[in-house]
């Protein structure tokens, strides 16, 4: 049976880097997916995920014993994504079309070509709409729907009260509904 996250953190703090290696192995896909839903670019998401783990490694001493590791690492990933948004704003904006064109969907063998095209178009519309959400609403939405965090975990990760997180999610859902009306068939 594998070690708990708390045990892995403790091992790492005691100088045993294999503990952190296991944490990376356990969470790398979730962190990457979070970054991808936040940034929309596979390459940039991979960089942000790697940066998140590097930052987490150096901040491990600040990890609160007894806390859940997943919300903590996703908060670090959220900050890495926000830093990248700010960097984009200082430089030149990346065209949303370029971000939305990167495809990493594996088709199932039992889907017809028409189904794949329709799903692809719907996925693209949803991804574009999510990318257009304000950062705070997008972070809450991605953590809730794509990373399955509870409201309490999101609140801890983002450092905002639960009622604010609920409000962010409600606003994000409403904004998505308006952006997707008539675009995505249900």
Residue 25: what pLDDT?
95
Q: Is 116 helix (H, G, I), strand (E, B) or coil?
A: helix
Count of positions (residues) in the chain: 186
- Give the integer Cα–Cα distance in Å for 121 and 113: 12
What is the CB neighbour count within 10 angstroms for residue 81?
Answer: 26
Whether residue 23 is contained in a domain is answered as yes
Whether residue 163 is contained in a domain is answered as yes
Mean of all residue pLDDT scores within the chain: 81
Residue 184 sits at φ, ψ, to 5 deg, of -110, 125
Whether residue 185 is contained in a domain is answered as no
- Give the integer Cα–Cα distance in Å for 112 and 130: 27
Domain hosting residue 37, numbered range: 5-180
Q: Among 57, 84, 62, 68, which residue's Cα sits nearest to residue 139?
A: 84
Please write the tens of the pLDDT for every residue from 132-164. 888 888 889 888 888 888 898 888 888 889 999
Whether residue 186 is contained in a domain is answered as no
Please write the tens of the pLDDT for every residue from 10-27. 999 898 889 999 999 999
- Report the predicted TM-score, pTM, of the whole model to 2 decimal places: 0.65
End-to-end CA distance of the chain: 42
Count of structural domains, the chain: 1
Whether residue 43 is contained in a domain is answered as yes
**Angle between the 69-90 and 18-39 helix axes, to the nearest 10 degrees?**
50
Whether residue 68 is contained in a domain is answered as yes
CATH number, domain with residue 72: 1.10.1740.10
When comparing pLDDT for 162 and 113, which is higher?
162
Whose tokens are 């969470």? That residue is: 27
Residue 108: what pLDDT?
46
Token pair for 147: 């990373």
Largest CA distance in the chain: 56
Residue 119: what pLDDT?
62
């Amino acid at each position: 049976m594998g070690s708990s996250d708390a045990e892995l953190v403790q091992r790492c703090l005691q100088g045993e880097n294999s503990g952190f290696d296991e944490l990376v192995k356990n969470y790398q896909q979730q962190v990457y997916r979070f970054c991808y839903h936040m940034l929309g670019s596979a390459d940039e998401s991979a960089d942000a995920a790697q940066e998140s783990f590097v930052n987490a490694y150096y901040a491990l001493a600040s990890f609160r014993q007894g806390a859940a590791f997943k919300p903590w690492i996703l908060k670090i990933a959220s900050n890495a994504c926000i830093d990248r948004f700010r960097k984009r704003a200082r430089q030149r904006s990346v065209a949303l079309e370029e971000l939305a064109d990167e495809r990493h969907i594996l088709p199932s063998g039992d889907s017809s070509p028409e189904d794949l095209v329709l799903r692809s178009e719907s996925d693209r519309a949803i991804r574009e709409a999510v990318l257009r959400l304000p950062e705070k609403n997008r972070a809450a939405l991605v953590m809730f729907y794509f990373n399955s965090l509870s409201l309490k975990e999101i609140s801890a990760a983002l450092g905002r009260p639960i009622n604010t997180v609920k409000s962010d999610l409600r606003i994000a859902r409403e904004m998505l509904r308006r952006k997707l009306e008539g675009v995505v068939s249900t």
